[in-house]
């Protein structure tokens, strides 16, 4: 049996679907469905069982699941980078993860443990190499991820695979439930559909308007790396950056959204200057709550990932965001057809 925690969430649900596509169906989906809308993410997936995250924790603690689990993909977490309840974040992200890690390393289990860390551990740094001197988290979420990574570093329990994946800015299908924490590609699509224009944050940290740089990575590529690690259990005891290795600007993402929709709507594609002059692209001040906590530049150093033997290419923004926008438009049309039929 394979376990996916956070299975109804963004990356978790895509991972369940990816496992299905690879022939795996004996999957235990673990999540907290207090937010019931997330269940839509699993509607087209096949799992063998579901457990609430509290029940799963109880059964791993009491030995009920000993010897029954081949691998755990631990994607479940409080992912709100602006969360103010540090106790909740640490309990949910650090202690829960630590206890699952202990379960996996137990001699009765020897369970592969592939877990979601985060590029947020690098904070405002400019060097994105998986090493402690480059890490300085800026918020409770980032610290919770950093704290568990540090726990793994200090542990001598490496009897079986443990790999922390430091996701950069992931975008793609099945993130609609995330609200303000959804990707900028998702928000840009919805802004354009609703208002016919897109607003970005003004410049910060020396970057001009919309030219802050991030490593935007398609969720399909994230799934491919996870499945690669499942099949290569000898890759262990490490943290791996998961990004394209090439930063792009928020303006680039916005223009990819605009021009993909313009193709769909049979409109001429625009250059950046045209989008600005027509008001389709504009800028708003950086929210006060984000000042000092905002990563204006990230770019994954993926040499460690490549050193494991992973040689697949990553989609760039134009290809990946273009595909995602077409997916979002398909869903938008389908949803509105259902509403019209009901009316």
Supply the residues annotated as catalytic: 141, 178
252 within 8 A of 162, measured Cβ to Cβ: no
Q: Which of 69, 177, 181, 51 is nearest to 118 (CA)?
A: 181
d(CA 340, CA 334): 10
Residue 131 has a CB neighbour count (10 Å cut-off) of 11
* Beta partners for residue 4, in sequence order: 29, 73
* Residues 6+ away with beta carbon under 8 Å from 311: none
Show the tokens assigned to 99.
């206890």
* Beta partners for residue 216, in sequence order: 169
Residue 273 has a CB neighbour count (10 Å cut-off) of 9
174 within 8 A of 31, measured Cβ to Cβ: no
SS3 74: strand
Show the tokens assigned to 244.
């394209």
d(CA 285, CA 203): 8
d(CA 112, CA 163): 9
- Please state whether beta strands 213-214 and 198-201 pair in parallel, antiparallel, or not at all (unpaired): unpaired
Q: Which helix (H) or strand (E) segment is 73 a member of?
A: strand 71-74
If phi > 0 it is left, if psi is from -120 to 50 it is alpha, else beta; for residue 38 that is alpha
């Amino acid at each position: 049996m394979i376990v996916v925690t956070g299975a109804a969430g963004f990356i978790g649900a895509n991972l369940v679907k990816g496992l299905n596509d690879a022939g795996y169906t004996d999957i235990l989906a673990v999540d907290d469905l207090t937010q019931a809308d997330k269940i839509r993410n699993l509607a087209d997936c096949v799992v063998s069982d579901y457990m609430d995250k509290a029940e799963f924790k109880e059964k791993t603690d009491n030995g009920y699941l000993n010897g029954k689990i081949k691998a755990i993909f631990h994607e479940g977490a409080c992912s709100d980078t602006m969360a103010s309840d540090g106790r909740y974040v640490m309990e949910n992200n650090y202690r829960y993860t630590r206890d699952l890690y202990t379960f996996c390393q137990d001699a009765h289990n020897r369970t592969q443990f592939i877990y979601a860390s985060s590029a947020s551990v690098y904070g405002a740094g400019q060097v994105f190499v998986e090493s402690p001197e480059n890490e300085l988290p800026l918020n409770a979420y980032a610290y919770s991820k950093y704290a568990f990574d540090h726990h793994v570093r200090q542990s001598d329990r490496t009897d079986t695979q443990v790999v922390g994946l430091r996701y950069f800015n992931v975008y793609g299908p099945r993130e609609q439930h995330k609200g303000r924490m959804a990707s900028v590609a998702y928000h840009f699509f919805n802004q354009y559909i609703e208002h016919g224009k897109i607003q970005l944050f003004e410049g910060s940290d020396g970057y001009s308007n919309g030219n802050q740089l991030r490593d935007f990575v398609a969720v399909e590529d994230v799934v491919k790396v996870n499945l690669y690690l499942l099949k290569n259990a000898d890759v262990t005891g490490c943290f791996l950056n998961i990004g394209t290795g090439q930063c792009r600007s928020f303006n680039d993402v916005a223009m990819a959204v605009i021009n993909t929709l313009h193709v769909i709507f049979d409109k001429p594609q625009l250059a950046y200057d045209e989008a600005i002059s027509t008001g389709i692209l504009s800028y708003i001040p950086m929210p006060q709550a984000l000042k000092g906590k905002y990563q204006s530049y990230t770019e994954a150093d993926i040499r460690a990932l490549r050193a494991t033997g992973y040689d697949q290419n990553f989609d760039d923004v134009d290809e990946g965001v273009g595909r995602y926008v077409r997916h979002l438009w398909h869903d938008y049309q389908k949803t509105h057809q259902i509403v019209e039929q009901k009316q």
